[in-house]
Amino acid sequence: MDQHGTPISIDNIEFDQSNPRIAHIFEEDQDNPPSPDEMSRALRDESSESLRRSIRQTKGIKNPIKVTPVGNNTYRVFEGNTRLSIYKAFNNKGEPGNWSTIPCVIYETIDQEGIDEILVQDHIVGTQPWSAYAKARYLHNLHTHKDYDVTQIAAMCGIGQAEILRSIETYVFMNKTYRTIIDSEELNGPSPDPFFNERKYTAFEEYIRSDARSEAVDLAGYTDEDFSRWVAKGLFTKNEDVRIIPEILKHETSRKIFLTKGTREAKKLLDTPALSKQLKEATMVSLCKAIIEKSNSTESREIKSISENQTSSMLVYDAITELKSFYDVFIADK
């Protein structure tokens, strides 16, 4: 096995139709397998844009894709479908460079268990992660359809059994309630999404993660189906807003606003501190310095108070998210 890669013609390599990163896109129409062009388009979504730029700039890939023989001089890729799709696109468009062959590591005798172990290491805990939904779908497939028990999966992944079970539970929940609502209802809301959106996964994971959230929904007279409907209607401005659903549902006014306008407006009614004129006029760098200094000097009593208050905890999380987004958009790669 050549770890540096054997050049193989892209025309002699098939996509893996069960590729976990995009399998959910085609899972409702299993009687009509996706064509190579459909597979290629699905693999080259916006999340692969940075990879496309890198491959174009370096005129190739550093890590060979992994393939198995499936016939006379024909192979199927089981790790590296996105990279193969980019090579095929560049080759079709006449992008400058040699895209007609791609470096491959050929696994002559690997079985499905060996493939699963490689995929888990590369994409569940490795440096080429799938989306959270794709990870959960793959873990569910390993456990339910391939009969791996949770201890086996934990050993392969190196992550805790509780986390694995939560991922599987979230995947099942989404497909039992959210998918049914998407398929059967006409939705109206602040930002309705009539299609099954895997990016909503973390909203459901936050709901599954804490009994307090599902209990708050139940105590307010609503159901799991209602929660899924709220997600589909776009009532949660951010997936993380699920964390404050107990606070929102606790008060009649905030609850009514949430059910019509979503968390963006409902959060304004919660007990959040107002910013002083001095803070509003401070520069971003000054505020970052102050946050660093404050985080290093905050007493345990204040930390405990923040951790026990969902609104305060959410503010800290929102600050982290916004700062990272600011860095990624305006600073990184500049």
92 and 116 in a common domain:
no
281 and 233 in a common domain:
no
130 and 238 in a common domain:
yes
Based on the structure, what is the number of domains in the chain? Answer: 3
Alpha-helix runs per DSSP H in 188-309: 201-209, 211-219, 224-233, 245-250, 252-261, 263-266, 277-281, 284-297, 300-308
List of E strands, 156-211: none
127 and 101 in a common domain:
no
- Beta-bridge mates of residue 294: none
Q: How far apart are CA 166 and CA 143, in angstroms?
A: 13
Angle among Cα 176, 178, 184 to the nearest 5 degrees reads 95
pTM: 0.66
227 and 202 in a common domain:
yes
59 and 120 in a common domain:
no
190 and 89 in a common domain:
no
Q: By residue range, what is the domain housing residue 311?
A: 277-330
- One digit per residue, the tens of pLDDT, for the chain of length 334 reads 445 689 999 999 998 877 666 665 555 555 566 666 666 666 666 456 778 888 999 999 988 999 999 988 899 999 888 889 899 989 999 999 999 999 999 999 888 888 888 888 777 766 667 788 888 988 998 898 888 899 998 888 878 899 999 999 999 999 999 999 999 999 999 999 899 998 999 999 999 998 999 999 999 999 999 999 999 999 999 999 999 999 999 888 899 999 999 999 998 887 655 667 788 888 999 999 999 999 999 998 899 888 877 667 767 877 887 788 778 777 865 5
Domain boundary among 88, 110, 132: 110
- Beta-bridge mates of residue 6: 104
